[in-house]
Chains A and B, each alone.
Chain A
Amino acid sequence: MAFWWGMAGLFSIKFLRIEGHNWFIPLAWASTFVLAEYLRTFFFGIIFIGNGSIIGPHWTIGSPAYLLQDLDYILKTSSIWGIYGIDFVLAYLIGGILLFTRRKDFKNLLVLAWVPAILLCLNTFLPDNRDKNFEEKKLPIALIQTKIPSKLSYTSEEGLDNFKKKLELLEGASEFLNSHESSEKGIAILPEGSHLLNSLSVFLNENSLKNYFDNLSEKEILVIDQVKSPADGNLKSKVVLINSKDGLIGTYDKKLLTPGGEFTPYIIKIPLTLFWPKAKESLLPDTYPGSGSNLIEFNGQKIKIVVCSELLSPSIVGDDNGDLIVALHNFGLFNGGRLLESQILAMSRFRAVENKKYSITSSNYGQSYIINPDGVVEKKASGIGYELLTGEIAPNKDQTWYNYVGDWPILLLSSVFFGFAIRKIPDDSKS
């Protein structure tokens, strides 16, 4: 992160030497910064490339835009221009203010005036998300939050204890969804790392399993669980979607895997193989990315499934336009990791606004949230322990401007400014 910001800064020093075009300097700087930020999101995937990698503009963690999650009038604009638009404005303002304070010939404050003007315009003309085109019938949801530490192995007592708590919470979720009068259907969501189905298969055979889900609720419930499953000879992080009355209705294999957590990147694996071959045997087997769609249909709604690190990627979350976003997280590896969790919360809020959809998050070893399409946290779990968080959401089939055009307008604009700025770099040899 620091490397790319530093590179952007170093490059911009050249721009600051443009003579007679002071108004252009902040634009050139902001464009350079945005392009550097965009490249950075590729770079993380490239440097930590491995068996489970996909390369793309996915790793947006640390983006300055996320720092502004609490400023509603800025957060709201991400449904137009995404996080890079906000990055652009932020870099522009900071660059402009810095120049204003440091350079005597840079006294024209008007150069900054368009920023609040454009934000004002966007906020005025942006529709209020809560009032338009949402499903009238609300869908009850129950988020099952767990607290399972990430370990190589568990004692049977630990395993049984975790399993028992999950079953109790699922029973509670079923009671809540059954008691909800406004809908005949509901969703119960377990977090990443829950592996409920794995545990159930130890105790129940195929018929008993069918009976268990059938008896779980009078209403039709969609149970969303995540398991590790060897498919086609490769280990996959698989989200399974079980309709309590119809059985398995779909699966989704996680695409954007976490280097270090789900696969060992080559940058670590190759040196280990070369200099310490025995270490390779102790490496955990790599998980491989899936290639299918993360959109599952239930109750006439398209549910967008996002697993942990995938929330970092605006493109993975935004593709195909789901009616609501269901995110499964696991912070067990970090024993909670409040800093990481706060970044994930910021990203959840941004993804909700970018897509104008409810974003619901079920976490292991972290807090669970229900975030509305305005990016407002409507409900959250009280802590990071075992807990059931319930609520209701309104799915939405609308698409935002950001859904249609993505990051291209702001990247194109930045490229134009950047190209123009490069043309203006004075030739040292001539000067």
Chain B
Amino acid sequence: MTQKVKVLFVFLAVLAVVSVFSFLDVFRGVRSAKLNDPPKPLPLDISIDADQDGLSDADESYWDTDFQDSDTDGDGFLDGEEVASGYDPREASSHELGDDLEDTIYGAPEEITADFNITESLAQGMISGIYADDLRPGVDDAKFKEGVNALSFSAVDNFYRTQTAPTITTNIVDNSKESQITYIEAVAQIVKKDLLDLPQKANLNDSIISQLSFFKTKSSQFQISHGKIAALSVPEDWLDIHKTILDFIYRSYLNYLYISSYETDMVKATIAMAELSNLNNELSILLQAIQAKIKTKGLPIDNSLYQIMNLLDNG
């Protein structure tokens, strides 16, 4: 074997060793991750019940009661007794824990804004319900089913309560042909740029979590479009459609924003994902309404968007 061949073999051997190590390195992260790590002990012993009221210190923390006072609301009943019998240990009245669940569902908070966290609200409702036995399986089946339904409805209800579009002052102009054409052309440009982004760039084969930036960008895109459309001068006859467009774009902005916040509010993001298909449905209805109005008004529009709508309107 010549010297050159020996050198070549040594080089190939080194390359092979490096390749094997690099290959194994890929799986290092996987190897080190244990899916079933045992729970780590807390640094302090909070399992003890310092005030001997039937609630451990950890539970006192959850119920927001005083861990050194056995009767936080001073109504003569121990905190533990009140929780066990379904009463609120913080209120001296006969306020039952189940009431909290109903509060979450139908009442509080009265004003819900876009940053309202539905996942947290749902989690609170669930825990309240479990402590009140409303959501504890096997205790009262009818109440359990009712509680689960109420929680689900509350999540969806709260979601739609976040969807209220802000009130915007619109600059209304006359119904002359020119102002109508100007308005329709401007809407078409915005719709083409922001709403009909063909083809869909989101990777439907990938998880939401890996595409949060896409949804965030899309949300910003809709927010800008909302501003643009809100600034348009609207012919009086187009006011109703204008409001529908604004509402549609605002809700699109919100839903993409919610999906991009998947990590902080998973429930809201999931409902928003489902809502996207509804929005898509609404978009086609909206475009058809615009097309029908253009036809009724007999407006001469030379725009690819409306040409396509004409081709699709083959009935």
Contact = CB atoms under 8 A, between A and B. Distances in A.
Contact of A211 (B201, B309, B315): B315
A274 B26 CA distance: 7
A235 B202 CA distance: 13
The 9 A-B residue pairs with the shortest CB-CB distance in the complex, in nearest-first order? A159-B198, A167-B311, A230-B204, A235-B205, A215-B314, A205-B284, A205-B281, A274-B22, A285-B205
A204 interface: yes
Interface stretch (B116-124, B151-159, B189-197): B189-197
A154 interface: yes
Interface of B: 19, 22-23, 26, 192-193, 196-201, 203-206, 280-281, 283-285, 287-288, 304-305, 307-309, 311-312, 314-315
B236 to A, nearest CB: 28
Given A156-B193, A199-B199, A202-B283, 15 more contacts: A156-B192, A156-B197, A156-B198, A157-B304, A159-B198, A164-B307, A171-B311, A202-B284, A204-B284, A211-B315, A212-B314, A215-B314, A277-B26, A285-B203, A285-B205
Contacts of A211: 315
Interface of A: 153-154, 156-157, 159-161, 163-164, 167-168, 171, 195, 198-206, 208, 211-212, 215-216, 230, 233-235, 273-275, 277, 285
A292 B26 CA distance: 35
A215 B199 CA distance: 25
Nearest to A198: B199
B280 A202 contact: yes
Query: Dominant SS at the B interface?
Result: helix
Given A159-B198, A164-B308, A215-B314, A285 B206 contact: yes
Query: Dominant SS at the A interface?
Result: helix
Given A160-B198, A164-B311, A230-B204, A203 B284 contact: yes
Nearest to B307: A164
B19 A274 contact: yes
A203 B287 contact: yes
Nearest to A162: B198
26 contacts: A154-B199, A156-B192, A156-B196, A156-B198, A160-B196, A160-B304, A160-B308, A167-B311, A198-B198, A198-B199, A198-B200, A199-B198, A200-B312, A201-B280, A202-B280, A203-B284, A203-B287, A203-B312, A204-B312, A208-B284, A208-B288, A208-B312, A211-B315, A275-B22, A285-B203, A285-B206
Nearest to A201: B280
Nearest to A200: B312
B134 to A, nearest CB: 36
A174 to B, nearest CB: 9
A159 B196 contact: yes
Nearest to B285: A205
Nearest to B203: A285
Contacts of B287: 203
Nearest to A170: B311
Name the residue among A156, A208, A212 with the largest chain B CB count within 10 angstroms: A156
Nearest to B287: A203
Contacts of B200: 198
A275 B204 CA distance: 28
A167 B288 CA distance: 17
A382 B308 CA distance: 26
A208 B200 CA distance: 20
A153 B201 contact: yes
Contacts of A216: 314
Contacts of B204: 230, 235
Contacts of A164: 304, 307-308, 311
A167 B196 contact: no
B284 A160 contact: no
A41 B59 CA distance: 70
A201 B199 CA distance: 11
Nearest to A171: B311
Name the residue among A154, A161, A199, A203 with the largest chain B CB count within 10 angstroms: A203
Contacts of A161: 304
B205 A233 contact: yes
B205 A203 contact: no
